[in-house]
Structure 1
Amino acid sequence: AVVASTYASKADALKVIKQQLESNGKGVTELAQKLTVGAQTTEQKKELLTAYVEGLGNCRLTLSQTGYRLRPASEVIRSAYGTEAEKAALLAALQQAIGIRAEIKAAFPKTEDKDAAGLAAVSGLFVTNKGIADIQNFVSVVDLNAQPIILEKVSHVVSRTDTLRVSDKTGKALADGYRKFDLPQARGGWASYDGRVTALNTTRPVNLLLRYLPDEAYTYIVKIDAGMKPVVVPTNKKIENAVGIMEVTVKKAEDEIKIFRTLKLKKQLITPTEYPAYYRLMAEWMDTNGNSLLFQTAK
């Protein structure tokens, strides 16, 4: 990214925001106390205050569209809506009003010169943001004094074990005595959304920054009743390249089949030259033929 600023530093630019933050008024304190009545822990209080702020209406004006101006917290409360920046300022004010340490953070593009970015480069103001925490290796996160901040990451590791019973009463009945069984996947897994929307095309002319690095492992224990004969099951497969690794391992026994499926990506920023490798991993990981089992009732 190429950025330019009329401010001497990020700190000077952020003063425009910082000087607008008022000390907590009586109304803010009373609201914070009212919202957290009955909460026993700090985390519970944070959750209640966050739920209140998230429940306010959203004004989609950006910082630049508002002239880098924030309405007072009391006005945001009165009007019951706010911009992203105003809601961040309100959340910080509510938490501070009941003794919780909170501060507003700003995200900038990462540049070689740490001061080479002004207000126009701010991609967001927030108190907590899991999405930015996941990509903080690719952005610059600072407090309103322009001091670097390290955000706590949330684990995206998926480890799931499912047991399936194969009988002439389970699965989906097909013609000629065949029955189909689909292997379950976690609803929040990579294949449920990210894998699909990031692999819609076979070529990509620009960089792709993934939301996070998936690390998923699924174990399926397939219990087979007498009289059921496996016709189609996944085969052992392993694909490893510069982007990551995808592996399927199948272990068969007389009355049981164990299937292990794993996906682990190593690169969060995928360049156009690396995209074919990423696309191949996704095509294999989301191949429906690898997620279905076909059995036939023995005659």
Structure 2
Amino acid sequence: MAFVLDKHDTVGADLVNHCVNDITVLGARPLFFLDYIGCEKLERRMFQELLRGISRACRSAGCALLGGETAQLPGMYRPGEYDLAGCIVGVVERDKIIDGKKIRPGDVILGVELNGLHTNGYSLAREILFGKMHLKVSSRVPGSTMIVGKELLRVHKNYQPLLARIPSNVIKGLAHITGGGLIDNLPRILPPNCDAVVEAKSWKVPRIFQILQRNGNIDLREMYQVFNMGIGMVAIVAEQNARRAMSMLQAKRIGRIERGSRKTVLKL
């Protein structure tokens, strides 16, 4: 999408924020970030836009951009295209690591809402929007005010400032909802004897996902295994802490932990 729109100042921020969220779920605070840009030939304006997005996101996350690697590889990339990757290092005190081991049946599942794809599900979204619906990046999605290109380039949200409000001993488990959706990401933090029971009607699914599901004729369960469906971060807390955590995280109560075998049970 960045190539099609020739807009490169958001994908760098996407990369940083995704990395920050991935270590935040462990209770870690980001220290520094390094980037890698591979391309056929370095184009100054494109490079500056990429770095602008990366540096802006690093400042927002409070981590240093130490540097990185830029590889010009003629013959490996098509002109005007690039590959972007990143590495993040953070720190957390050993006794404050959030690993899900304290999760128990009866705990509450909270979901922090978002409005967009974040950085996953783009292959399927492109196939539906451009292949089946024959839209262009400048098209308005039928029945909505959304412009396709702007919708797909929404910046991945950084949840660290929000989660930093909560005392570390309140949160038992965190899951960054990326590839695999709620179905595949929640089991990673569950003890072997627990299931995550998610009530899919407990939050409003953003319109973009409704459009993709309807026009792509995708099974609803598959939607929850490919896309985030409007939940970007999940926190698991004890029942007595649920109301307080909901207020501090601006989150919805989307389910509960039950005795089971480390899987997500989706109630549609």
TM-score bin, normalised by smaller chain: under 0.3
How does the TM-score come out when normalised to structure 1?
Answer: 0.19
More helix, by proportion: 2
